[in-house]
Amino acid sequence: MKKIESLDLFRGFCGYGVAVCHFYAFLFKSATYEYISFLFVDMFFVLSGFVLYPQLTKIYNNKKNLRIFYMRRWLRTLPIFFIALITFSIVFQNFNYDTLKYLFFIQKIYPDFLTSDYMAIAWSLSIEEWFYLLFPIFLIFFNKLNIEKIFVYCLVALYVFKVIFLLGYEDSNFYRTGTFLRLDAILFGTIVAHYYEIIKKFKYNLLTVFFLLFIYFYFKNFFISSTNFVQFIYVVLIQMISISFLIFFININKKISLKYFNKIYRLLANQTYSVYLFHFIFIYFIKIYNLENISLILLYYIFSLFITSSLIFIFFEKYFLKIRPNYNK
Protein backbone atom coordinates (compact mmCIF):
# COMPACT_ATOMS: atom_id res chain seq x y z
CA MET A 1 0.00 0.00 0.00
CA LYS A 2 1.44 3.35 -1.06
CA LYS A 3 1.49 6.26 1.37
CA ILE A 4 -1.78 8.19 1.29
CA GLU A 5 -0.86 11.82 1.88
CA SER A 6 -4.42 12.93 2.61
CA LEU A 7 -4.44 10.78 5.76
CA ASP A 8 -1.83 13.10 7.27
CA LEU A 9 -4.35 15.90 6.81
CA PHE A 10 -7.02 13.67 8.35
CA ARG A 11 -4.82 13.02 11.38
CA GLY A 12 -4.19 16.75 11.87
CA PHE A 13 -7.90 17.45 11.43
CA CYS A 14 -8.70 14.95 14.21
CA GLY A 15 -5.98 16.18 16.57
CA TYR A 16 -6.86 19.86 16.42
CA GLY A 17 -10.56 18.98 16.30
CA VAL A 18 -10.29 17.30 19.71
CA ALA A 19 -8.24 20.21 21.08
CA VAL A 20 -10.76 22.86 19.96
CA CYS A 21 -13.77 20.83 21.19
CA HIS A 22 -12.18 20.36 24.61
CA PHE A 23 -11.36 24.07 24.73
CA TYR A 24 -15.05 24.94 24.53
CA ALA A 25 -16.27 21.88 26.45
CA PHE A 26 -14.24 22.55 29.59
CA LEU A 27 -14.15 26.36 29.58
CA PHE A 28 -17.91 26.66 29.04
CA LYS A 29 -18.99 23.27 30.44
CA SER A 30 -20.51 22.47 27.06
CA ALA A 31 -21.84 18.92 26.77
CA THR A 32 -22.26 19.50 23.04
CA TYR A 33 -18.57 20.10 22.39
CA GLU A 34 -17.60 17.18 24.62
CA TYR A 35 -20.05 15.08 22.62
CA ILE A 36 -18.38 16.14 19.35
CA SER A 37 -14.90 15.46 20.74
CA PHE A 38 -15.75 11.75 21.03
CA LEU A 39 -16.35 11.68 17.30
CA PHE A 40 -12.89 13.08 16.58
CA VAL A 41 -11.31 10.51 18.92
CA ASP A 42 -13.19 7.71 17.17
CA MET A 43 -11.82 8.96 13.86
CA PHE A 44 -8.37 8.58 15.43
CA PHE A 45 -9.18 4.96 16.21
CA VAL A 46 -10.18 3.93 12.70
CA LEU A 47 -7.26 5.88 11.22
CA SER A 48 -4.88 4.13 13.63
CA GLY A 49 -6.22 0.73 12.60
CA PHE A 50 -5.90 1.61 8.93
CA VAL A 51 -2.25 2.71 9.11
CA LEU A 52 -1.33 -0.22 11.37
CA TYR A 53 -2.64 -2.83 8.94
CA PRO A 54 0.56 -3.22 6.84
CA GLN A 55 2.54 -3.80 10.04
CA LEU A 56 0.00 -6.33 11.30
CA THR A 57 0.24 -8.31 8.07
CA LYS A 58 4.00 -8.56 8.62
CA ILE A 59 3.26 -10.31 11.93
CA TYR A 60 0.65 -12.53 10.27
CA ASN A 61 3.22 -13.58 7.64
CA ASN A 62 6.18 -13.89 10.03
CA LYS A 63 5.67 -14.23 13.78
CA LYS A 64 9.26 -13.11 14.41
CA ASN A 65 8.02 -9.62 13.62
CA LEU A 66 5.91 -9.55 16.80
CA ARG A 67 8.78 -8.33 18.98
CA ILE A 68 9.69 -5.70 16.39
CA PHE A 69 6.07 -4.54 16.21
CA TYR A 70 5.95 -4.05 19.98
CA MET A 71 9.24 -2.17 20.01
CA ARG A 72 8.17 0.10 17.16
CA ARG A 73 4.78 0.92 18.70
CA TRP A 74 6.10 1.42 22.22
CA LEU A 75 8.99 3.61 21.08
CA ARG A 76 6.43 5.69 19.20
CA THR A 77 3.86 6.03 21.99
CA LEU A 78 5.36 5.43 25.43
CA PRO A 79 8.25 7.93 25.87
CA ILE A 80 6.11 10.98 25.19
CA PHE A 81 3.22 9.47 27.18
CA PHE A 82 5.47 9.09 30.24
CA ILE A 83 6.46 12.75 29.95
CA ALA A 84 2.79 13.72 29.71
CA LEU A 85 1.85 11.55 32.70
CA ILE A 86 4.56 13.14 34.85
CA THR A 87 3.41 16.61 33.71
CA PHE A 88 -0.24 15.89 34.56
CA SER A 89 0.73 14.40 37.93
CA ILE A 90 2.74 17.52 38.82
CA VAL A 91 0.16 20.03 37.57
CA PHE A 92 -2.77 18.29 39.27
CA GLN A 93 -0.67 17.25 42.30
CA ASN A 94 -1.56 13.60 42.00
CA PHE A 95 1.10 10.97 42.56
CA ASN A 96 -0.79 7.96 43.90
CA TYR A 97 -2.23 4.58 42.92
CA ASP A 98 -4.13 6.23 40.08
CA THR A 99 -0.78 7.23 38.55
CA LEU A 100 0.22 3.56 38.46
CA LYS A 101 -3.09 2.69 36.78
CA TYR A 102 -2.39 5.25 34.07
CA LEU A 103 1.17 3.99 33.78
CA PHE A 104 0.00 0.47 32.92
CA PHE A 105 -3.09 1.60 30.96
CA ILE A 106 -5.53 -0.19 33.26
CA GLN A 107 -7.52 2.83 34.46
CA LYS A 108 -10.49 1.98 32.24
CA ILE A 109 -10.57 -1.80 32.42
CA TYR A 110 -13.32 -1.63 35.04
CA PRO A 111 -15.93 1.02 35.95
CA ASP A 112 -14.99 3.43 38.76
CA PHE A 113 -11.47 1.99 38.97
CA LEU A 114 -9.98 5.45 39.49
CA THR A 115 -10.39 7.64 42.55
CA SER A 116 -9.45 10.74 40.52
CA ASP A 117 -9.45 10.74 36.72
CA TYR A 118 -6.99 13.64 36.49
CA MET A 119 -5.65 12.53 33.09
CA ALA A 120 -9.01 11.88 31.50
CA ILE A 121 -7.72 12.01 27.93
CA ALA A 122 -5.73 8.80 28.57
CA TRP A 123 -8.80 6.58 28.11
CA SER A 124 -8.22 6.47 24.34
CA LEU A 125 -4.52 5.67 24.77
CA SER A 126 -5.44 2.64 26.87
CA ILE A 127 -7.55 1.34 24.02
CA GLU A 128 -4.69 1.86 21.57
CA GLU A 129 -2.08 0.17 23.78
CA TRP A 130 -4.23 -2.85 24.57
CA PHE A 131 -5.03 -3.27 20.89
CA TYR A 132 -1.29 -3.20 20.11
CA LEU A 133 -0.75 -5.86 22.76
CA LEU A 134 -3.63 -8.25 22.04
CA PHE A 135 -4.51 -8.21 18.36
CA PRO A 136 -1.06 -9.32 17.07
CA ILE A 137 -1.29 -12.29 19.46
CA PHE A 138 -4.62 -13.23 17.88
CA LEU A 139 -2.98 -13.05 14.46
CA ILE A 140 -0.27 -15.49 15.52
CA PHE A 141 -2.57 -17.80 17.47
CA PHE A 142 -5.03 -18.09 14.55
CA ASN A 143 -2.35 -17.92 11.88
CA LYS A 144 -3.73 -20.96 10.02
CA LEU A 145 -6.98 -19.11 9.35
CA ASN A 146 -7.27 -16.48 6.64
CA ILE A 147 -7.27 -12.94 7.97
CA GLU A 148 -10.94 -12.32 7.10
CA LYS A 149 -11.98 -15.10 9.50
CA ILE A 150 -9.76 -13.64 12.21
CA PHE A 151 -11.55 -10.32 11.76
CA VAL A 152 -14.92 -12.06 12.14
CA TYR A 153 -13.89 -14.03 15.25
CA CYS A 154 -12.47 -10.92 16.92
CA LEU A 155 -15.57 -8.86 16.16
CA VAL A 156 -17.88 -11.61 17.44
CA ALA A 157 -15.83 -11.92 20.66
CA LEU A 158 -15.82 -8.15 21.21
CA TYR A 159 -19.55 -7.77 20.60
CA VAL A 160 -20.40 -10.69 22.88
CA PHE A 161 -18.40 -8.90 25.58
CA LYS A 162 -20.24 -5.64 24.80
CA VAL A 163 -23.64 -7.34 25.15
CA ILE A 164 -22.64 -8.98 28.44
CA PHE A 165 -21.64 -5.58 29.83
CA LEU A 166 -24.75 -3.99 28.32
CA LEU A 167 -26.99 -6.38 30.25
CA GLY A 168 -24.97 -6.65 33.44
CA TYR A 169 -23.77 -3.15 34.34
CA GLU A 170 -25.40 0.24 33.82
CA ASP A 171 -22.74 2.88 33.14
CA SER A 172 -23.27 4.71 29.86
CA ASN A 173 -20.06 6.74 30.11
CA PHE A 174 -17.94 3.65 30.68
CA TYR A 175 -19.66 1.94 27.76
CA ARG A 176 -18.30 4.75 25.60
CA THR A 177 -14.77 4.79 27.08
CA GLY A 178 -14.10 1.35 28.59
CA THR A 179 -10.89 -0.18 27.23
CA PHE A 180 -12.16 -3.60 26.16
CA LEU A 181 -15.50 -2.19 25.01
CA ARG A 182 -13.93 -0.03 22.31
CA LEU A 183 -11.20 -2.18 20.74
CA ASP A 184 -13.47 -2.79 17.76
CA ALA A 185 -13.08 0.87 16.70
CA ILE A 186 -9.43 0.24 15.76
CA LEU A 187 -10.26 -3.15 14.30
CA PHE A 188 -12.71 -1.53 11.86
CA GLY A 189 -9.84 0.60 10.58
CA THR A 190 -7.76 -2.51 9.84
CA ILE A 191 -10.73 -4.04 8.01
CA VAL A 192 -11.03 -0.93 5.81
CA ALA A 193 -7.30 -1.21 5.05
CA HIS A 194 -7.67 -4.90 4.16
CA TYR A 195 -10.27 -4.01 1.52
CA TYR A 196 -8.44 -0.86 0.42
CA GLU A 197 -7.92 -2.00 -3.17
CA ILE A 198 -11.68 -2.45 -3.54
CA ILE A 199 -12.63 0.74 -1.72
CA LYS A 200 -10.35 3.04 -3.72
CA LYS A 201 -12.06 2.02 -6.98
CA PHE A 202 -15.38 3.49 -5.91
CA LYS A 203 -16.29 7.16 -5.95
CA TYR A 204 -17.42 7.96 -2.45
CA ASN A 205 -20.59 10.00 -2.11
CA LEU A 206 -20.10 12.83 0.39
CA LEU A 207 -23.87 12.81 0.97
CA THR A 208 -23.38 9.67 3.08
CA VAL A 209 -21.15 11.61 5.48
CA PHE A 210 -23.64 14.50 5.67
CA PHE A 211 -26.55 12.14 6.27
CA LEU A 212 -24.78 10.37 9.14
CA LEU A 213 -23.69 13.71 10.62
CA PHE A 214 -27.29 14.95 10.41
CA ILE A 215 -28.45 11.95 12.46
CA TYR A 216 -25.56 12.47 14.87
CA PHE A 217 -26.46 16.10 15.63
CA TYR A 218 -30.25 15.76 15.33
CA PHE A 219 -30.33 13.16 18.13
CA LYS A 220 -27.60 14.87 20.17
CA ASN A 221 -29.70 15.39 23.31
CA PHE A 222 -30.93 11.82 23.13
CA PHE A 223 -27.38 10.45 23.05
CA ILE A 224 -25.79 12.77 25.63
CA SER A 225 -27.89 11.57 28.57
CA SER A 226 -28.83 7.96 28.05
CA THR A 227 -28.66 4.29 28.97
CA ASN A 228 -26.17 1.63 27.93
CA PHE A 229 -28.42 0.50 25.09
CA VAL A 230 -28.63 4.01 23.64
CA GLN A 231 -24.85 4.31 24.00
CA PHE A 232 -24.53 1.08 22.04
CA ILE A 233 -26.43 2.75 19.17
CA TYR A 234 -24.38 5.92 19.63
CA VAL A 235 -21.07 4.04 19.41
CA VAL A 236 -22.20 2.23 16.25
CA LEU A 237 -23.18 5.58 14.74
CA ILE A 238 -19.87 7.32 15.47
CA GLN A 239 -18.01 4.30 14.10
CA MET A 240 -20.01 4.55 10.87
CA ILE A 241 -19.26 8.28 10.64
CA SER A 242 -15.56 7.70 11.39
CA ILE A 243 -15.27 5.01 8.73
CA SER A 244 -17.08 7.29 6.28
CA PHE A 245 -14.62 10.12 6.93
CA LEU A 246 -11.68 7.72 6.58
CA ILE A 247 -12.93 6.51 3.19
CA PHE A 248 -13.65 10.10 2.14
CA PHE A 249 -10.08 11.22 2.92
CA ILE A 250 -8.69 8.16 1.13
CA ASN A 251 -10.66 8.96 -1.99
CA ILE A 252 -9.72 12.65 -2.14
CA ASN A 253 -6.00 11.86 -1.93
CA LYS A 254 -5.26 12.56 -5.61
CA LYS A 255 -7.24 15.80 -5.56
CA ILE A 256 -5.40 17.40 -2.64
CA SER A 257 -2.02 15.67 -2.81
CA LEU A 258 0.44 18.33 -3.98
CA LYS A 259 4.13 18.48 -3.17
CA TYR A 260 3.95 21.73 -1.20
CA PHE A 261 0.74 20.87 0.65
CA ASN A 262 1.97 17.36 1.48
CA LYS A 263 4.68 18.93 3.65
CA ILE A 264 2.01 20.84 5.56
CA TYR A 265 -0.06 17.67 5.99
CA ARG A 266 3.02 15.84 7.31
CA LEU A 267 3.75 18.71 9.73
CA LEU A 268 0.22 18.49 11.13
CA ALA A 269 0.40 14.71 11.40
CA ASN A 270 3.71 14.84 13.26
CA GLN A 271 2.21 17.17 15.87
CA THR A 272 -0.97 15.25 16.48
CA TYR A 273 0.13 12.92 19.27
CA SER A 274 1.63 15.65 21.46
CA VAL A 275 -1.30 17.98 20.68
CA TYR A 276 -3.64 15.33 22.04
CA LEU A 277 -1.50 14.55 25.09
CA PHE A 278 -0.80 18.12 26.22
CA HIS A 279 -3.72 20.28 25.08
CA PHE A 280 -5.62 19.85 28.34
CA ILE A 281 -2.70 21.34 30.30
CA PHE A 282 -3.11 24.55 28.30
CA ILE A 283 -6.87 24.54 28.91
CA TYR A 284 -6.32 24.07 32.64
CA PHE A 285 -4.15 27.18 32.93
CA ILE A 286 -6.51 29.23 30.76
CA LYS A 287 -9.35 28.27 33.11
CA ILE A 288 -7.30 29.04 36.25
CA TYR A 289 -6.47 32.57 35.14
CA ASN A 290 -10.02 33.18 33.90
CA LEU A 291 -8.81 34.87 30.72
CA GLU A 292 -11.30 36.89 28.70
CA ASN A 293 -11.67 37.57 24.96
CA ILE A 294 -12.19 33.92 24.09
CA SER A 295 -11.67 34.30 20.32
CA LEU A 296 -8.21 35.77 20.86
CA ILE A 297 -7.40 33.21 23.56
CA LEU A 298 -8.42 30.41 21.18
CA LEU A 299 -5.94 31.70 18.58
CA TYR A 300 -3.17 31.90 21.21
CA TYR A 301 -4.14 28.41 22.41
CA ILE A 302 -3.88 26.87 18.93
CA PHE A 303 -0.66 28.75 18.19
CA SER A 304 0.87 27.62 21.50
CA LEU A 305 -0.12 24.02 20.80
CA PHE A 306 1.38 24.26 17.32
CA ILE A 307 4.73 25.58 18.57
CA THR A 308 4.93 23.28 21.61
CA SER A 309 4.02 20.11 19.72
CA SER A 310 6.44 21.00 16.90
CA LEU A 311 9.29 21.40 19.39
CA ILE A 312 8.37 18.16 21.17
CA PHE A 313 8.41 16.29 17.87
CA ILE A 314 11.71 17.80 16.67
CA PHE A 315 13.65 17.46 19.92
CA PHE A 316 12.06 14.39 21.47
CA GLU A 317 9.75 12.20 19.39
CA LYS A 318 11.95 12.25 16.28
CA TYR A 319 14.81 10.56 18.15
CA PHE A 320 12.68 7.59 19.19
CA LEU A 321 11.29 7.23 15.67
CA LYS A 322 14.83 6.97 14.30
CA ILE A 323 15.94 4.18 16.66
CA ARG A 324 12.99 1.89 15.95
CA PRO A 325 14.02 -1.48 14.47
CA ASN A 326 13.00 -2.57 10.96
CA TYR A 327 10.82 -5.56 10.21
CA ASN A 328 12.06 -8.94 8.99
CA LYS A 329 11.03 -9.82 5.46
pLDDT in tens, 96-141: 899 999 999 999 998 888 888 999 999 999 999 999 999 999 999 9
pLDDT for residue 186 is more than 80: yes
Report the alpha-carbon distance of residue 49 to residue 183 in Å, rounded. Answer: 10
Give the pLDDT band of residue 3 (cuts 50, 70, 90).
Answer: confident
**What is residue 157's predicted lDDT score, i.e. its pLDDT?**
93
Helices (H), 219-327: 220-224, 228-251, 253-256, 259-288, 294-312, 318-322
Report the alpha-carbon distance of residue 283 to residue 20 in Å, rounded. Answer: 10
Give the pLDDT band of residue 259 (cuts 50, 70, 90).
Answer: low
pLDDT for residue 205 is more than 90: no
Report the alpha-carbon distance of residue 200 to residue 55 in Å, rounded. Answer: 20
**What is residue 204's predicted lDDT score, i.e. its pLDDT?**
64
The residue-averaged pLDDT of 21-50 equals 92
Quote the pTM value: 0.93
pLDDT for residue 313 is more than 90: yes
pLDDT for residue 318 is more than 80: yes
Average pLDDT for the chain:
89
**What is residue 214's predicted lDDT score, i.e. its pLDDT?**
84
Tell me how far CA of residue 329 lies from CA of 65, 105, 107, 326, in angstroms: 9, 31, 37, 9
Report the alpha-carbon distance of residue 59 to residue 69 in Å, rounded. Answer: 8
**What is residue 174's predicted lDDT score, i.e. its pLDDT?**
85
Give the pLDDT band of residue 172 (cuts 50, 70, 90).
Answer: confident
**What is residue 261's predicted lDDT score, i.e. its pLDDT?**
76
Task: Kindly state the percentage of the chain with pLDDT values over 90.
Answer: 60
Give the pLDDT band of residue 209 (cuts 50, 70, 90).
Answer: confident
Task: Kindly state the percentage of the chain with pLDDT values over 70.
Answer: 96
The residue-averaged pLDDT of 277-304 equals 88
